[in-house]
Chains A and B, each alone.
Chain A
Amino acid sequence: MTQPSGAGTATFSKSEMMIVAAARELAGQRVCFVGVGLPNIAVNLAQRTVAPDLELVYEAGVFGARPERLPLSIGDPTIVTGATAVVSMYELFSFYLQGGLVDVGFLGAAQIDRFGNINTTVIGPYDHPRTRLPGSGGACEIAINARQVFVIMRQSARSFVETIDFRTSPGNLGGAEQAARIRREGGWLGRGPSVVVTDLGIWHFDDDGEMRLDSLHPGATLDEIRATIGWQPRIAEDLQATAPPSPAELDLIRRELDPEGAYTK
């Protein structure tokens, strides 16, 4: 699905743009809990570019992974060899995550609503689902205990919906005010979602706790944004244009991280 973008010297796919934009968001972050799927390649790109000191936390029980190849999933022998620490899952979830040491939880999602609440459990009713999805894994506790949450997912009318079918991982609940109160009163460590990176643009959350499009990727249009979302989206007044992937970023993805195009097709 590689398309000429016209915005840079190199051509790149929408997925490559999404991964690059997500990696750049990690600049300045210290400890990142890596979710399954797209977050895996985004954080590995970040570690090789904007965030060389990023400590990668994998729920399999690794703190400070230094993978030499892209891990095949969230468990892989390459995240063990050379890591800072390998611990039991009990320690990882209890001491590292619930203990408050994770700055960013990086998640994927099947469905998301305007307030960043996430569904990865079922499409349709829980007891008779049309599509059974993987479920929480560690996402539910990451969304509650990581200091902030980043989301990476492809945008479509089926995934960006007015009402999610099941709330697996809480975001800004019904809005910023309610979410702040519940998070404070409940003693949650996490402030909730702060960015959603898609194949079309970069969304942050405004004072109401609602997603706002702050940057449009090269080649994407506002019509496309509106056609792939189940509500009237908020668009920043000073909407930015995402810088296209650099040759170096593309080279890392294509040669080192995903030579077979598993994530970038």
Chain B
Amino acid sequence: MSTSKVATMHDAVADLIRDGDTVAIEGFTHLISFAAGHEIIRQGKRDLTLARLTPDLIYDQMIAGGVARKLIFSWLGNPGVGGLGAIRRRIETGQPAPLEIEEYSHFGMVGRYTAGAANLPFYPIRSYFETDLPVANPLIREIESPYEDGKVYAVPPLKPDVAIVHAQRADAAGNTQVWGLLGCQKEAAFAAERVIVVVEELVDEAVTRADPNRTIIPGLIVEAVVVEPFGAHPSYVQGAYDRDNRFYLDWDAITRDEDSIQAWLREWVHDLDGRASYVEKLGAERVASLRPAGPAPSGSVNYGEYR
């Protein structure tokens, strides 16, 4: 029997994230831990380096919330809607505070986590040729194949101090199961020094053991399991709730103006004590409207019993 790693969001963030850390809240449009991001803002963490392929609304909120000094990314936008005003203002005008950036492509970021997870000195990819990206970011470097068959580009390993991953379910030991878009959460988690898993549902160890192929992160590398239903809203969780597109559209207006962002942060982050209050404020009707139209269960497979 393993010891339970179940913790509150408050304690997980307070105990595991330090000022100045490199933090990766991963999840590609899917399973983005807004709940953790909001708790980081609430606790007033400072000088973080935030890493993520797509900063999405959560990093726009966190950067507006004053927690970060640097952003590592590969695509900066409100997916399917528009821009991220708080981040753009800081890059374009340095107002209200400058933001350091380190930019890659998606494959470059995935390669960085992969090198970090596998303890490699770099990751080689066939990208960046004849582009300005290696000029903008000198950490992207051309290298010669040691087998004399051409050149590739290398990206350095990314080893976050903390990776935060939202998932459908985990057991108390932290064995974490995900379905739907997998993004690069596995790579980010294995690359990180400490891992916080946030789940819709805490399940018995027998449930994870009954379907081991679905476990993307083993409890071995997990420090804390936070149970936070609806913790990925306004992003989505396959099979549980849809993206709240109304919110993504609303954000387009909120993010255009620093005062409106700060007002939003006050109302939806600082004045609330956690995700349960957020969900209550959101209202049962809004929550119900995001449920899938119907079920689409997978078939089950037979692993067999062998003695």
Given the complex of chains A and B, what is the CA–CA distance between A126 and B133 in angstroms?
10
Interface pick from A21-29, A71-79, A223-231, A233-241: A71-79
Q: A93-B106, A141-B106 are in contact. Are A129 and B91 (CB under 8 A)?
A: yes
CB distance from A111 to the nearest CB of B (A): 12
11 CB < 8 A contacts A-B: A73-B29, A77-B236, A89-B53, A97-B107, A121-B132, A129-B92, A132-B87, A135-B74, A136-B103, A166-B136, A187-B149
Instruction: Check if A36 sits within 8 Å of B79, measured CB to CB.
Output: yes
Instruction: Check if A135 sits within 8 Å of B181, measured CB to CB.
Output: no
Which B residue's beta carbon lies closest to that of A145?
B126
B interface footprint on A74-117 (CB within 8 Å = 1, 0 otherwise): 11110011100011111001100110000000000000000000
Given the complex of chains A and B, what is the CA–CA distance between A173 and B130 in angstroms?
8
Given the complex of chains A and B, what is the CA–CA distance between A136 and B131 in angstroms?
10
Which A residue's beta carbon lies closest to that of B54?
A137
Interface pick from B2-10, B237-245, B273-281: B237-245
Instruction: Check if A135 sits within 8 Å of B103, measured CB to CB.
Output: yes
- B121 an interface residue at 8 Å Cβ cutoff? no
Q: Which of B53, B107, B130, B187 contacts A170 (CB 8 A)?
A: B130
Instruction: Check if A62 sits within 8 Å of B181, measured CB to CB.
Output: yes
A37: B residues at CB distance < 8 A:
80
Instruction: Check if A170 sits within 8 Å of B131, measured CB to CB.
Output: yes
- B68 an interface residue at 8 Å Cβ cutoff? no
CB distance from B92 to the nearest CB of A (A): 5
Instruction: Check if A88 sits within 8 Å of B105, measured CB to CB.
Output: no
Instruction: Check if A75 sits within 8 Å of B131, measured CB to CB.
Output: no
- A244 an interface residue at 8 Å Cβ cutoff? no
Q: How many residues of chain B have a CB within 8 Å of chain A?
A: 56
Instruction: Check if A60 sits within 8 Å of B28, measured CB to CB.
Output: yes
Instruction: Check if B75 sits within 8 Å of A137, measured CB to CB.
Output: yes
- B46 an interface residue at 8 Å Cβ cutoff? no
Instruction: Check if A188 sits within 8 Å of B126, measured CB to CB.
Output: yes
Given the complex of chains A and B, what is the CA–CA distance between A63 and B161 in angstroms?
32
Instruction: Check if A138 sits within 8 Å of B106, measured CB to CB.
Output: yes
- B128 an interface residue at 8 Å Cβ cutoff? yes
Which B residue's beta carbon lies closest to that of A173?
B130
- B176 an interface residue at 8 Å Cβ cutoff? no
A138: B residues at CB distance < 8 A:
75, 105-107
Instruction: Check if B296 sits within 8 Å of A135, measured CB to CB.
Output: no
Interface centre among A62, A140, A186, A188 (most CB of B within 10 A): A140
- A148 an interface residue at 8 Å Cβ cutoff? no
CB distance from B145 to the nearest CB of A (A): 10
Q: A72-B79, A89-B183, A90-B184 are in contact. Are A130 and B92 (CB under 8 A)?
A: yes
Contacts between chains A and B (CB distance < 8 A), count: 169
Interface centre among A82, A130, A134 (most CB of B within 10 A): A134
- B125 an interface residue at 8 Å Cβ cutoff? yes
A140: B residues at CB distance < 8 A:
105, 107, 127-128, 131, 133
Given the complex of chains A and B, what is the CA–CA distance between A62 and B28 in angstroms?
12
A interface footprint on B149-182 (CB within 8 Å = 1, 0 otherwise): 1110000000000000000000000000001111
Instruction: Check if B126 sits within 8 Å of A134, measured CB to CB.
Output: no
- A61 an interface residue at 8 Å Cβ cutoff? yes
Which B residue's beta carbon lies closest to that of A72?
B80
A72: B residues at CB distance < 8 A:
79-80, 243, 245, 248
Instruction: Check if A86 sits within 8 Å of B75, measured CB to CB.
Output: no
- A195 an interface residue at 8 Å Cβ cutoff? no
B212: A residues at CB distance < 8 A:
none
- A144 an interface residue at 8 Å Cβ cutoff? yes
Instruction: Check if B110 sits within 8 Å of A60, measured CB to CB.
Output: no
The 10 closest A-B pairs by CB, nearest first: A75-B29, A73-B80, A73-B79, A137-B75, A141-B127, A136-B105, A134-B77, A93-B107, A170-B130, A138-B106
A76: B residues at CB distance < 8 A:
29, 236, 243
Taking A72-B80, A90-B184, A167-B132 as given, write out 7 further A-B residue pairs in contact, using a Cβ cutoff of 8 Å, ordered by the A residue number: A36-B77, A40-B80, A74-B80, A82-B296, A133-B76, A141-B126, A166-B136
Q: A73-B29, A81-B296 are in contact. Are A88 and B186 (CB under 8 A)?
A: yes
Contacts of B19-60 to chain A: CB distance below 8 A: 28-30, 53-54
Given the complex of chains A and B, what is the CA–CA distance between A187 and B183 in angstroms?
28
Given the complex of chains A and B, what is the CA–CA distance between A132 and B74 in angstroms?
13
A135: B residues at CB distance < 8 A:
73-76, 103, 105
- A264 an interface residue at 8 Å Cβ cutoff? no
- A168 an interface residue at 8 Å Cβ cutoff? yes
CB distance from A116 to the nearest CB of B (A): 12
B29: A residues at CB distance < 8 A:
60, 73-76
Which A residue's beta carbon lies closest to that of B136?
A126
Instruction: Check if B181 sits within 8 Å of A80, measured CB to CB.
Output: yes
Instruction: Check if B88 sits within 8 Å of A126, measured CB to CB.
Output: no
Instruction: Check if A137 sits within 8 Å of B105, measured CB to CB.
Output: yes
Given the complex of chains A and B, what is the CA–CA distance between A186 and B126 in angstroms?
9
